Amino acid sequence: MTISNITKRFRVDSPDKFRLAECDPNDCHGLTIDKSEAKAMLAEGLEQLVELQERLYADDRWSVLIVLQAMDAAGKDSVIKHVMSGLNPQGVEVHSFKQPSVEELNHNFLWRAAQRLPERGRIGIFNRSYYEEVLVVRVHPELLDRQRLPNSLAGKDIWQQRFEDICGFERHLARNGTRIMKFFLHVSKEEQRKRFLDRIDEPAKRWKFSMGDVAERKLWDKYEHAYEDLIRQTSRPEAPWFVVPADHKWFTRMVVAGALVQELQALGLDFPKIEGKAFKELQEAAKALKEEKP
């Protein structure tokens, strides 16, 4: 079995039927393998990714946007570290979206994401994203006040309007050569508790823990409702959501890597062909180089 064979079941292709409660964060697709086997399978996928990234860069027509969303401690940083570690850093950009700045609040909610979209030939990774606007802001609606929207535009329909805006934004990107892949790393509340305790217990990890994490944990049900709604409203063929079980980090990495391999393979990427006059010039250059004295 290869890692690309296990990804399809986690893609949300029928959003109207999607129920987060039916997704098991502990799911491993029936795999019972040890860490060495998991590492070997992941390494195989990463070798494919390295080659595909080179083709993406050389082809220079497509770009890829990866969106990572999750509850705290679900493993977003781990995915970036382990899945993207072997790629050429010149062709990958990671952007972490935290609390918006004053400048960002002075623009529409999609503005700061639009500034960081990947160029053609490159892979962009959003560690959190514009989806925070229908997650954190929805769970904490008081944050809307900081955006200083006119009162007539901040009514009860604002979340549905933002879903429509996001779908339009992603459709526009897709029509202009950006392939969008969105991953919700679905961790259980119990596994999050264990990981928070690990952060507290291990001196090297304590800096990651914040008392705000505990406060947000109390809003778990509200966040799960918000995630379910946004996935139902915004998983589209041109920008699908993958709901990835995240209680086992090795499995999470395999699913994300496998999905990326499948997506890049589907683009039909190839190295540009050098023909005609350009090929003749290459031959002349090669001849001149061979005739040079050592």
Q: Could you read off the pLDDT of 135-159 as tens digits, one per residue?
A: 999 999 999 999 999 989 989 899 9
Output the DSSP codes for 122-165: -EEEEES-GGGGGTHHHHSGGGGGGGT--GGGSSTTHHHHHHHH
- What average pLDDT does this structure show over 13-30? 94
Q: Parallel, antiparallel, or unpaired for β 178-186 and 241-245?
A: parallel
Q: How far apart, in Å, are the Cα atoms of 52 and each of 46, 94, 194, 263, 264? A: 10, 18, 36, 10, 6
The pLDDT, as a whole number, for residue 210 is 84
Going through the chain in order, the beta strands assigned E by DSSP cover 63-70, 92-96, 123-127, 178-186, 241-245
- Pairwise CA distance, residues 218 & 230, whole Å: 20
Q: Dump pLDDT digits (tens) for 203-249.
A: 888 888 888 888 999 999 999 999 999 999 999 999 999 999 999 99
* pTM higher than the cut 0.85: yes
- What average pLDDT does this structure show over 173-192? 98
What is the chain's mean pLDDT, rounded? Answer: 92
- Pairwise CA distance, residues 242 & 231, whole Å: 9
- What average pLDDT does this structure show over 246-273? 93
- What average pLDDT does this structure show over 154-183? 97
Q: Dump pLDDT digits (tens) for 79-134.
A: 999 998 788 888 999 999 999 999 999 999 999 999 999 999 999 999 999 999 99
Burial of 281 from C-beta contacts in 10 A (0-12 / 13-18 / 19+):
exposed
* 165-174, 184-193, 265-274: the lowest-pLDDT one: 265-274
- Pairwise CA distance, residues 172 & 195, whole Å: 38
- Pairwise CA distance, residues 181 & 62, whole Å: 13
